[in-house]
Amino acid sequence: MNWKVILALLTCNVLFMSASYTMIIPFLPMYLTHELGVDDTSVNLWAGLTFSVTFLVSAVMAPIWGRMADRRGKRLMAMRASLLISISYLLGGIVTSPEQLVLVRIFQGFAAGLWPMDLAIMTLYAPRERLGFSLGILQGTLTAGGVIGPLLGGVLAEAFGMRASFYIGGLALFINFLAFTFIIKEPPMPEDAAPLTAEEKNPWHLWHIPILRTMMIVSTLAQMVTFVLMPVLTTYIRYLAGDLENLVLVAGIVFSLGGIAGAMAAPLWGIFGARHSYFRAMCLALSCAGTMLTLQGIPDTLVPFAAMQFGVGLFFAGIQPSLNAVIAQHTPAQLKGSVFGMLFAAQQVGGFTGPLLGGVVATYLGMHYLFPTVGVLLLILALFVWWRYIHKRGAEI
């Protein structure tokens, strides 16, 4: 199949996947209280449990599914993930107790793995010179889905009730399943792919390759930064806005600015990386995003904060496409599923630990200190990438 056709199909796939997920997740606390009868005193506990349990299970399962993808086919694993996640959404819409919802979220973590399969398939289809652009498009679409999802979820909840979001999400994932079943073909192996040794066939061998191990650690920390801020960002926006009318709408718009900017910028970062090296793109994105985040805690009014939120989105969008491209270029074609499965597991760890770190910093230091904390972390990562792969090696890729 032509790589452009695959890119178009996977773009739709990622949009359905991301929008379906994000039109449900932000509304879990309200779903627990309004539909499942959880009282206000325990809703935060149940919401935290239902949110985090999926990360834990998927972090364990992702490398296993990735290994199976290399053995039995990436298309088959994408079909599995699409179908099982669609079933999990359907079950989420019919549960009647918080305990049942937790079990559904455990099942969803077990089913997860569609995003790494999308990446693995695209890296095998895309020409080397178009790899950055292709991964940038997918990353931008993932971000765009994160903006569209909450808006769509709010409309559906208002018009038809919150259970409708689960059913619509299940339908979207089932459409993905049909696309993988009847349209998208298994990506061919490159003709020059060398046979793997017995040691290389072990997926944990990938963890012992320094560049892959480093990229996974950087990706985990970058993901952690996102989830450090996510739980408190809307609250901080409300604090800056004060008694502004239509406060919820304004907070939603400001919150979405980063996602809108990221969706626009991610393909451009991919092109920049392909032309000037992915390490340079990664280092520049980390530096600019870290600087912007460090400064974002300074404004005490909403307008400059919103402008910086847009800037953070522009620069943060360059991190993951560059990471994915570097990992793809340093992984044998026969192990693409394994490496992206391990990367997904590492990101899930970041998604689980981020809110914990954010809660500690916000509780003991104050929300203002969250921004310089994560900003300095990104600047340290940028310095490390520059020293390790640009200053010492010249960043040839």
The 10 Å Cβ neighbour count of residue 217 is: 14
pLDDT digits (tens, 9 = 90+) for 252-266: 788 788 888 999 999
pLDDT at 275 over 80: yes
The residues, any chain, with a CB within 8 Å of residue 102's CB and separated by 6 or more, are 46, 49, 50, 53
pLDDT at 132 over 60: yes
CA distances 77 to 82, 141, 173, 198, Å, are 9, 21, 14, 23
Please report the DSSP string for 317-368 in residue order: TTHHHHHHHHHHHTS-GGGHHHHHHHHHHHHHHHHHHHHHHHHHHHHHT-GG
Q: Three-state DSSP class for 318?
A: coil
Q: How far apart are CA 79 and CA 271, in angstroms?
A: 30
pLDDT digits (tens, 9 = 90+) for 336-379: 999 999 999 988 888 888 877 877 787 788 778 889 999 999 99
Asked if residues 51 and 28 have their Cβ atoms less than 8 Å apart, the reply is: yes
Asked if residues 302 and 237 have their Cβ atoms less than 8 Å apart, the reply is: yes
Tell me the pLDDT band of 234, cut-offs 50, 70 and 90: low
Does this model's pTM top 0.75? My answer is yes
Q: Which residues of 142-165 are buried (b: 16+ CB within 10 A; e: fewer)?
A: bbbbbbbbbebbbebbeeeebbbb
The residues, any chain, with a CB within 8 Å of residue 59's CB and separated by 6 or more, are 345, 346, 348, 349, 352
Q: How far apart are CA 241 and CA 305, in angstroms?
A: 10
First to last CA, the chain: 27
Phi then psi for residue 300, to 5 deg, are -115, 15
pLDDT digits (tens, 9 = 90+) for 46-77: 887 888 888 889 989 998 999 899 889 999 99
pLDDT digits (tens, 9 = 90+) for 190-205: 766 666 666 666 666 7
The residues, any chain, with a CB within 8 Å of residue 195's CB and separated by 6 or more, are none
Tell me the pLDDT band of 287, cut-offs 50, 70 and 90: very high
Q: What is the DSSP letter of 388?
A: I
Asked if residues 296 and 305 have their Cβ atoms less than 8 Å apart, the reply is: yes
pLDDT at 248: 61
Asked if residues 251 and 237 have their Cβ atoms less than 8 Å apart, the reply is: yes
Please report the DSSP string for 7-23 in residue order: HHHHHHHHHHHHHHHHT
pLDDT at 395 over 60: no
CA distances 109 to 57, 166, 241, 258, 274, Å, are 5, 16, 36, 27, 34
Please report the DSSP string for 359-383 in residue order: HHHHHHT-GGGHHHHHHHHHHHHHH
CA distances 249 to 154, 160, 254, Å, are 11, 20, 9
CA 308 to chain centre: 21
Asked if residues 81 and 112 have their Cβ atoms less than 8 Å apart, the reply is: yes
Residue type, 223: Q
